[in-house]
Each structure stands twice: as C-alpha cells, then as structure tokens.
Amino acid sequence: MIEWCNRLYRPGHVPENMGARRLMMNYVERERLILAPYALASAASAGRTHPEPAHPWRSPFQRDRDRIIHSAAYRRLAHKTQVFTGDLGDYHRTRLTHTLEVASVARTLARALALNEDLVEALALAHDVGHPPFGHAGEELLNERLRHVGGFNHNAQALRIFTRLEERYPEFPGLNLSHEVLAGQRRRAEKGAAAEQPPLEVQVVDAADSVAYDAHDADDALVLGMITPAELSQTEKWRRATARVAQRYTNLSADAHRRCVIHELLDWQASDLHAATTARIAEQGIKSLTDVQQAPLLAAPSREMAELKREFQALLFRQVYRHPRVLTHRTEAIAALDELYQRHLLAADDLPLPYREIAQEAGPERAVADYLSSFTDRAVLAPWRRAQRESG
C-alpha cells in the first residue's frame, strides 16, 4: 500500500489503469487509501446536531475547519493575550499565532501518523477559541466571579461559542460543527472524566499544544529580555538543544543562534512525539479506533522527553510566567476586566439582545461572562485607561 501511494503521489505520474475519474477521487476514496486503520475517517462521522446535506467535494471536517476560520471568535484571537500583552511589543505570540503554530505541528504529526489531517486541523484551530481577553488571567477572574454558577473555563466556553453564541447561519445557532470536533473540544473541557481515550486525532492536538508553547514561550521571553540563554541553560532540555545546534553551526549571531535553538526544540520534540507514539501503537497492537479508545494514552512524548519538559516548564513558570513585568500587566488587565464585569452586571438589561436572552435563561453572570469573553484585550483596556486618565 505504501509503495502504491508513493507512486500515486509522485508529481506528474499517473499509475497504470487509473483514469481521470480516479484522479478526481472524492475525499472518502482518498481517505480510504491514505489513512491508517485506527484513524477517524470522515465517512465514520456521526454528523451534526442540525442535519445538513453533504458537500460534494469537502469532507465534514474540512467544513468544520472553514467554519472555525471564518468565525468572529477565531478572528478575535489576534488581539488576545497568549502570555505577553500587546503593550510589550509586536514580536511575541498572540492567542491566534499560538493557535496557528499548534495547527502546524499537529497537522505535520497527523500526516506522519496517517491520521485524519482535516479533523486534526479543525480541532487545533478550535482549541483556544473560548479564551477571554488576557488569556488565563482573564479566565481566572471570570471563573472566580462565576464560581457559584458553574465557573468559567475556556474549553467549555469554546463549546458555547460553537453551539450557541456564534451567529453566522440563519438555519441554526452556533457553527453546527460535526459531533467529532465538538466531542474533541468537550474532552478538553472535561479532562479526566471520560472512561476511554479519545481518538488519536484529539490526542495529537493536545500533545502539539505542549510542543508549541514550550518553544515559543521561551522564544518570546528571550526577545522581550525576561530570561537569558544562561538562565535557560539551567535546564537539560535547553543545553541539549544548544549542543545539537553547535554540531551544525558556528559563529552565529545571538539572534540567529536563538532562532536555531528554538527550531531545534520544535523539531526535536515533534520527532520524539512521533517516534514514541509510533512505538506505542506497535506495542499495543493498535488496529482500529476501538483499540485506540481502549488503550493507554498513545500520543505523548517519551519518558525521557516528558522529564525534560517538566524541568523546562518549571523554569518558565518561575522566571517567565511570574516575571514582574508579566505580573504588572496582569494586575492592570484584571482590574480593567473586573471593573467592566461589575458594571455590566449591574446593567445586564442593557446588554445586546442575544445576551439579554442568555441572562433570562442562565442568569446575568453567565450572560456578562459570555459577552465579555468576546472582547479583545484592547477593547477592555482602551476605555478603562481613558477613564483612569480622566478621573486621575
């Protein structure tokens, strides 16, 4: 099969006995040829909450991907904090660029593992859509304010966006995504609650998320001067990545060296993840999606890499995520978001109509949280700072 597929996709080559119809094969035929038996094929999709006719040449998961990309909630990620706010410069990642990097890593791994790339990409693009302004800091504030009515969690909020809040189609609320994409996102919102493992496509996205932020958080912190290469060299992971770069390059500038080490971190982690996952699939005798669901977690780094990651992430937490400059911006952001929350809570009857309806159904706290979670960082900070100046 592998040899035949290699011939099939060699540029300019048409395999014997393959006419024009086969060259124009639909996604079901294509997936049957290239997906592993344990992948989640589009033909196995359970459909959508609101039934829709099948698209003639886009798979269900391609349509999910497109709907997420074209949603307002996805676009707003461009102006939401990943770790560092926009006040600190324009090099570092936003929630959107982080999402794109996760999707890139995840799709690469999916192709290497013969998984459903369209499903993986849809899941990756969806995974952070529910973040409020200021990332985890905003999430923690809203969770505290809503603790007596179920709390606030960005993974669960993404599900609300996909099934209720996003308004793009007259036929149904939300985006009417496939049951598989919704189930993957629900799995993130209910970690530890499921009796069986999710499909490998879901596992790969979770693993790719960790690969991406390990590398890009270190990169951003270096450029912003919040950590030095010497401090990162306290970890074995950074030392090994640096040594690998030194074997290939000499006399690099500081910027070129940083870029090479970050690239090495990404490539090394992704390669380790691919090798470890492939080994587990073989060891567990995985032959079907049911096997995946009944096996231990398959898509995860090797034991050695997992230990290196723990040490590396602990350093980032101490010296980057708790850096005084990060905490100063976090304090201002939380003050602005909390003031806006309290003001809207007192005037919930003045919320836009869709949120007034939510207030009647689920209470004003949930309605205000739904409303504010759609704001970007600057939509919260700009009027708050203006008010501070006018009152000061």
Q: What is the pLDDT of residues 268-279, one digit of tens each?
A: 999 999 999 999
Mean pLDDT of 155-163: 97
CA distances from 140 to 59, 160, 243, 342, 371 (A): 37, 18, 39, 15, 16
Q: What is the domain partition of the chain in residue ranges?
A: 1-34, 35-42+55-391
Report which residue type is found at 70.
H
- 89 or 266: which leads in pLDDT: 266
pLDDT at 229 exceeding the cut of 80? yes
Spatial CA neighbour of 334 closest among 97, 81, 48, 91: 81
Q: Quick one: which H or E segment has residue 332?
A: helix 324-346
Contact 154, 128 (CB under 8 A): yes
Write down the pLDDT at residue 8.
Answer: 42
Task: Compute the radius of gyration of the chain from its Cα atoms.
Answer: 23
Question: Tokens 């976090």 sit at which residue?
Answer: 330
**pLDDT at residue 234, rounded to an integer:** 97
Structure tokens at 226: 């919040």
Of 135, 139, 127, 129, the C-alpha closest to 185 is 127
Token pair of 8, please?
Answer: 């099939």
What pLDDT, on a 0 to 100 scale, did the predictor assign at position 16? 45
Phi-psi label, residue 253: left if phi above 0, alpha if psi -120 to 50, beta otherwise? beta
What's the pLDDT tens digit per position in 236-265?
999 999 999 999 999 999 999 999 999 999
Confidence of residue 192 (pLDDT cuts 50, 70, 90): low
* Digit-coded pLDDT (tens) for 96-134: 999 999 999 999 999 999 999 999 999 999 999 999 999
Q: 174 pairs with which residues across the strands?
A: 167
Residue 21 has pLDDT above 80, yes or no: no
Query: Quick check: 2 pLDDT over 50?
Result: no
Number of H helices, E strands in the chain: 20, 0
Nearest C-alpha neighbor of 71 from the set 165, 154, 155, 168: 168
Query: Which sign does the torsion angle of CA 293, 299, 303, 308 carry?
Result: negative
pLDDT of residue 391: 77
Residues 260-272: b if buried by 16+ CB within 10 A, e if exposed = bbbebbbebbbeb
Answer for the pair 205, 183: CB distance below 8 angstroms, yes or no. no
How many whole angstroms from its chain centre is CA 391?
40
AA identity, residue 356: R
Write the CATH number of the domain with boundaries 35-42+55-391.
1.10.3210.10
pLDDT (average), residues 333-339: 95
Q: Look over the chain and give the mean of its residue pLDDT values, rounded to a whole number.
A: 91
Structure tokens at 93: 């990642």
Per-residue model confidence (pLDDT) at position 7: 44
pLDDT tens column, 294-324: 999 999 999 999 999 999 999 999 999 999 9
